[in-house]
Amino acid sequence: MAELFPEKCYVLMKQIYLYDTTLRDGTQGESISFSADEKIRIARRLDTLGIHYIEGGWPGSNPKDSEFFQKAQKETFQHATLVAFGSTRKPGILAQYDLNLNALLNSETPAIAIFGKSWPLHVEEIMKNTLEENLFMIRESVAFLVSHDREICYDAEHFFDGYKASPDYALKTLTAAIDGGATTLTLCDTNGGLMLHDVHTILSHVISYVQAISADIRIGVHMHNDCGLAVANTITAVQAGAIQVQGTINGYGERCGNADLVNIIPLLAIKLNYHCMSEEQLKQLKKVSRFVSETANMIPLSNRPFVGESAFAHKGGIHVSAVQINPKSYEHMVPELVGNSREVLISDLSGKSNIEYKAKELNIQLPDDEIAKNISHDIKQLEQRGYKFEGADGSLKLLIHKNLGNFQPAFELEAFRVFIEKTRDLPCSAHAVIKISVGDQKGEIIAAEGKGPVSALDNALRKALKRFFPHIDTMHLMDFKVRVIDGRDGTAAKVRVLISSRNEENIWTTIGVSEDVIEASWEALADSFQYILNENDIAPFKES
């Protein structure tokens, strides 16, 4: 990191261990589910990222987790230790006869995490157990697993609530885990209600208490986000002396989620200068965050700190002008440290600086300030009509070239017609007929069908263009979004259509706006083809 912040001298502080529970606690989040194969793929990425402990799930609780641990036995992790998760033995039985504990051993992971109760309310009122038996359960369960040569992390569930209710008993539960042979004690804010001012006080007392028993015990924390403080509480705990942090990628988890490791890692490594992973591993953070989002089928948050698409995005002209002079003027860190990059947004708030920056980013040379002002004026006029160029670089590039007077369309529309047919219980069918011209050549009428009107139009246009541009099949539509701009007009409202397309080398997005969703879709679709055909110099831009 020193080369990216040459004026700052880094002296590495103590090691912080990263414990990821995305594959277990993260899957308790609403709408999140991973197959066993998906969990394997995520575990591989977490290992490459440099995570120290990967909690894979609860073996024996469901077939999917059992399958994962069977598959994981064939994996070789370079950095991470795989962890199986479960609970202490049930009341009134010997640990060696507990099915849960034996399932943990059968997972054959080098480390095991088990949780036990710290709060008398849970022990007596919820479990209908005695406080003394609960201590036996913790001690005997840990000792049984340790006797099978496993590294044991004890999760003290509801620890902070338990400590506030009865600090003496909460500490006795930790003593029981230490007596059993646990090497790590994780203090859990299971309900997510912990306030910042309590973290340092409780952690300081716990660490002093534990170190008086054994200086080798590692203290960790597991925070939930029900008050929006999971990350802040985790960082405060580290500053109070905790050396292991639990969390999930993107903060996925039950209710309001878990502490987000994607936030925690750069805070520790960059802001506070703790050692938790290498510089090269840190640069993978955005990719890992996006990979887990895609695997979970969750839309990545554009405003996610550090790795979101908007984390280093600048829209106001004054901001962009300042960033061009010195990025530190409006950026708290170098985005490349976490694999992100600076983004300049184009909108009706854009000034000349935005246009000049964006043109440079798109490898376009603007001859003078007047052109930049004209482009800015056109964008503001179009955005009055509902266009948004922030996420439509393809259409923006075409607009810039049109202003420069060096755009030559690869094709022009003569006419199209779309038919939708619905028959009783059968699904709708769509057919499109299109006629285009390419240069001096008039295209013939081409028909195609599709799974919807836009699909039919896409297929018809593709068939028509293939006569002139045979390689067009390398281009594919990747995403299709429709947004109602103002819903007060009901079904007559104006809509904005964004189409993302890709080929083997590039991804681009184009936009269309109209009261007619088909017309808006056609505009975005046509621009998508115009963009790539001009990019490939099939119908080259004229020289300025």
Structural domain contains residue 308: no
Positive or negative: CA dihedral 365, 370, 374, 376: positive
> How far is C-alpha 497 from the geometric centre of its chain's CA atoms?
24
Q: For residues 375 and 405, give the distance between their C-alpha atoms in angstroms, rounded to a whole number.
A: 12
**Within 241-388, where are the H helices?**
261-266, 279-282, 285-296, 317-325, 352-361, 369-384
Same domain, 416 and 399: no
Same domain, 362 and 437: no
Same domain, 240 and 318: no
Are 371 and 412 contacting, i.e. CB atoms less than 8 angstroms apart? Answer: no
Q: For residues 400 and 396, give the distance between their C-alpha atoms in angstroms, rounded to a whole number.
A: 6
CATH number (domain holding residue 526): 3.30.160.340
What Cα–Cα distance (Å) separates residue 399 from each residue in 207, 379, 421? Answer: 62, 9, 36
Same domain, 283 and 351: no
What token pair was written down for 56? Answer: 């894979």
- Averaged pLDDT, groups of 10, the chain, 544 residues long: 42 82 94 90 94 94 90 94 96 94 95 96 94 96 97 97 96 97 97 95 96 94 97 97 97 96 96 94 91 81 85 69 75 86 58 68 75 79 78 82 84 91 84 89 84 90 88 82 76 83 80 91 92 65 36
Same domain, 392 and 451: no
Number of domains in the chain: 4
Are 251 and 232 contacting, i.e. CB atoms less than 8 angstroms apart? Answer: no
Structural domain contains residue 441: yes
Same domain, 115 and 212: yes
Same domain, 263 and 128: yes
Beta bridge partners of 54: 20, 82
386: left (phi over 0), alpha (psi -120 to 50) or beta: left
Q: What is the largest CA-CA distance in the chain?
A: 91
Q: Write out the residue range of the structural domain in which residue 231 sits.
A: 17-296
Structural domain contains residue 11: no
Q: For residues 521 and 524, give the distance between their C-alpha atoms in angstroms, rounded to a whole number.
A: 5
pLDDT, residue 31, reads: 85
Structural domain contains residue 209: yes
Give the orientation angle of helix 167-180 with respect to helix 131-146, to 10 degrees.
Answer: 30
Other CB atoms within a 10 A radius of the CB of residue 108 amount to 14
Structural domain contains residue 464: no
pTM for this prediction: 0.70
Same domain, 102 and 75: yes
Same domain, 360 and 259: no
Same domain, 225 and 115: yes
